[in-house]
Amino acid sequence: MIILGSSSPRRQELLRLIVPEFQIEPAQIDERALPILPAPAYVASLAAAKGAELAERFPAATIITADTMVSFDQQLLGKPRDRQDAFATLQMLSGKVHQVYTGVQIQRPGHAPKQTVVATQVQFWPLSASEINAYLDTGEYCDKAGSYGIQGYGARLVERIDGDFYNVVGLPVSTVARMLNETQK
């Protein structure tokens, strides 16, 4: 049995590209209790904490956990509090490059966890206030780290990316597929 430790519909959809059948069990951790670290270490620690909690509850399952964070100038950009917060975030990212990090952990019964962090560079177009407001009017920003979703209307904000597109969506598909193959050896 494979368990995805996430309630994210995007992560579930992406994992189905690799594993057609799996169980969804969000981890029961308090993310705010973990120390705030630089983005790569932070997403790794979140994936590890989620994986450890689920491995205790489901010791016979293969557990896949992940966490994605947007970072700009060493600042972690989570989900926006409201529209004004989202506007400020998008205005800050306008015309600039930011990073998206996803920490992934796979835990097989009886084996040490395998973990990695995948980084993608994202360059935004210079955005006017009316372009930002038009995007915010879609409502898509509400539950997205960095206040945008690259797989939807947010694609209009992005000039280019360097790295894994699916990492920005929330799960680096090819990396997870390779990790699963390695854990089966």
Query: Which are the catalytic amino acids?
Result: 67
Cβ atoms of residues 154 and 140 within 8 Å: yes
Instruction: For 56-110, give the DSSP string.
Output: HH-TTSEEEEEEEEEEETTEEE-S-SSHHHHHHHHHHHTTSEEEEEEEEEEE-TT
Q: How far is residue 34's CA from residue 14's CA, in Å, rounded to a whole number? A: 27
